[in-house]
Chains A and B, each alone.
Chain A
Amino acid sequence: MQQSPGAPRQPITSSTRVDQVGFRPQLMRGIKAGLAVVAMIIMLIPAVWMGMTAFKSRPDAVSVPPKVFFEPTVEGFVSLLTKRRQLTGEEIDAYKQRIDLSFADRLALKRGQAIIGQSDFPKFLRNSLIISTVSTFFSVFFGVLAAYAFSRFKVRGENDLLFFILSTRMLPPVVVTIPIFLMYRALNLYDTHFGLILLYTAFNLSFAVWLLKGFIDEIPREYEEAALVDGYTRLQAFRKIVLPQSMTGIAATTVFSFIFAWNEYAFALMLTADVARTAPPSLPSRIGTGGVEWAAIAAGSLACLVPVILLTFGLRQHLLRGVTFGAIRKG
């Protein structure tokens, strides 16, 4: 290529705005960054406070004024995970003599209580884990199939079908719960793991189809076509070319579906009682009983939130797509 004299040797790909050079714009940038950090700190206060409260003793959690510095203890976790009984003065003395007390027993004894068994919270947490995992698997599995078909083949009434799929997610949960409750009662699915798994699968499926379709749309068709020319069948091309290529999308969809199921409250509240109850609806009901054990509630909240916070970090590249049904893509 002929270079005209004086032309830059490389193409110009970036420019510096004249109005952004100098002291004032730089100062402005500094102020903005400072404000952003302040905003972040304010946004994080509730989460941090929750983390702190989880490690407070029972009196520290409700001290007036609120304590920022305190002696950390796992008392909250112990009361979250156990059932306890209030001891009388003599019993306490008798208990103190015993040498077979575990660490948890001694923590409970500090509040004059004896541990009499395990609480239901581990069960609820386990239910949450089972239901979220299995329903996520199914919604991603069926979602990726449907998304591939919508992305690659002509489907009659495609736009209407896609809109229908999207609109199912817009329904308020309470609207569909009544008939589903009746249906589940007739089929003996009320308060079962399978019932909630089916419901969450349906609810996440619409989301999974939309999100995955966006990702699969971006894989060039030429890859598959080349494979077809080489003698692959459609299914082989799907398995060996499209699936590996859409791994990022599948991973993001998996995590989003999991977080939804993990956080879900309304369905779980109305369609489970005890056997299949998940962790989120179990927390508000703890408040009703006697003196509120805030440290225990904070510990339970922390158990629910920590996995989500960790996953959010893994997801940050895909957050925008995920929370908008893949309708909006960055850049």
Chain B
Amino acid sequence: MSVSPTPRTRRPLSDRNITLLFIMPTMVILVLMNVYPLFYSLYLSFTDYSVISAEPPKWIGLENYTTILSDQRFWSHFAVTGRFAFLSVGLQMLVGFGLALLIREKFRGSGLVTTLILVPMMLSPVVVGVFWRLMFNPSYGIFNYLLGFTDINTAPEWLGQPVLALWAIVIVDVWMWSPFVMLLSLAGLSAIPNYLYEAAAIDRAGAWFQFRRITLPQVMPLLLIAVLFRTIEALKQFDLVMGITGGGPGDATEMVSVRLYREAFQGQFDTGLSSALAYIVLIVIVAISNLYIRQLNKVREG
């Protein structure tokens, strides 16, 4: 096939200039909307400032950080967030990997089943959360009925008790995000070469042995990636909490992000303090991700 190029009217751009031209807009937008805010909030975290007051930020050094770290309440927000992350990521791994093992072998309609299972994770967390509030209602919610608690007087009040309220959020998070773990597990499972199982079968290895010695080690790297993604998301959790409990009852499910929102945009509008809290959250997330990535590399090499 012969293609006739359009006649050149001016010198074409060099590759170098194209590179610059193509990458620049992205970089400008990201620096403007991400890097600049990061440094700005680092500065604000060392100041006493409120967005609703007319006074300019006043430098107070580390005072915001010491206030936060010496306040029992903030520690309890971190504890709630940690407990939530641990429970929901753990359960998601179990449920998601379990689902992947079920769907692994193709059957008639398995494509449709897989897609339908993936629906929850594409939905808006806050919208879903608000609706789950109805489902958790002790008198007219469907959740208790499905669990078999048909007597209103003895049915658990999911959003009314501190421990259950946290579990309620865990349940919704597991419902939403187990499909994600399933998807990653399926990708890992489909990459396992069949001959490993054939060799094991010839050696008359049992199903459990095959699972422990072939399946699990082969999907491990992808499972760890799933843990990493989900842990970061769980530590950032905001939408679901706002949708389901709004942090209640009391402050039983008030996770760090929710607290951060309240400090920054409600009540006192304590911008300086909330910036410091934001930075602490950021540092925790970066530290945990680094630990995971190191572990992940070890598994990959080993």
Indicate whether A297 sits within 8 Å of B123 (C-beta atoms), given known contacts A145-B22, A176-B41.
no
| Residue in contact with A142 in the complex, picked from B12, B25, B279, CB distance below 8 Å | B25
**A110-149 interface with B by 8 A CB criterion:** 142-143, 145-146, 148-149
Contact B134 A319, beta carbon cutoff 8 Å: no
In the assembled complex, the Cα of A150 lies from the Cα of B20 at a distance in Å of 10
Q: Please give the distance in Å from A191's CB to the nearest CB on chain B.
A: 13
Q: Which residue of A lies closest to B26 (CB)?
A: A146
Judge whether A174 is part of the interface by a CB distance below 8 angstroms.
yes
In the assembled complex, the Cα of A260 lies from the Cα of B23 at a distance in Å of 23
| Residue numbers in A under 8 Å from B238 (CB-CB) | 172-174, 265-266
B 257-268 binary contact with A (CB < 8 Å = 1; else 0): 100110011000
Q: Please give the distance in Å from A179's CB to the nearest CB on chain B.
A: 4
| Residue numbers in B under 8 Å from A311 (CB-CB) | 122
Judge whether A227 is part of the interface by a CB distance below 8 angstroms.
yes
Contact A283 B26, beta carbon cutoff 8 Å: no
Contact B32 A170, beta carbon cutoff 8 Å: no
Contact B110 A33, beta carbon cutoff 8 Å: yes
Judge whether A215 is part of the interface by a CB distance below 8 angstroms.
no
Contact A32 B102, beta carbon cutoff 8 Å: yes
B 268-290 binary contact with A (CB < 8 Å = 1; else 0): 00010011001101100100010
List 4 A-B pairs, minimum CB-CB distance, nearest first.
A202-B33, A263-B124, A179-B37, A233-B12
| Residue in contact with A231 in the complex, picked from B5, B37, B275, CB distance below 8 Å | B5
Contact A280 B117, beta carbon cutoff 8 Å: no
Contact A146 B23, beta carbon cutoff 8 Å: yes
| Residue numbers in A under 8 Å from B13 (CB-CB) | 233-235
B66-74, B84-92, B136-144, B162-170: which lies at the A interface? B136-144
Contact A168 B34, beta carbon cutoff 8 Å: yes
Judge whether B191 is part of the interface by a CB distance below 8 angstroms.
yes
Q: Please give the distance in Å from A178's CB to the nearest CB on chain B.
A: 5
Contact B124 A65, beta carbon cutoff 8 Å: no
| Residue numbers in A under 8 Å from B140 (CB-CB) | 61-66
Instruction: Please count how many residues in chain A sit with their CB below 8 Å of the partner chain's CB atoms.
Output: 106
Judge whether B222 is part of the interface by a CB distance below 8 angstroms.
yes
In the assembled complex, the Cα of A17 lies from the Cα of B198 at a distance in Å of 6
Q: Please give the distance in Å from B229's CB to the nearest CB on chain A.
A: 7
Contact A47 B120, beta carbon cutoff 8 Å: yes
Contact A39 B131, beta carbon cutoff 8 Å: no
| Residue numbers in B under 8 Å from A199 (CB-CB) | 33
Judge whether B184 is part of the interface by a CB distance below 8 angstroms.
yes
Judge whether B194 is part of the interface by a CB distance below 8 angstroms.
yes
Judge whether A86 is part of the interface by a CB distance below 8 angstroms.
no
**B113-134 interface with A by 8 A CB criterion:** 113-134
Contact B123 A263, beta carbon cutoff 8 Å: yes
| Residue numbers in B under 8 Å from A281 (CB-CB) | 126
In the assembled complex, the Cα of A234 lies from the Cα of B175 at a distance in Å of 48
Q: Which residue of A lies closest to B246 (CB)?
A: A284
| Residue numbers in B under 8 Å from A145 (CB-CB) | 21-23, 25-26
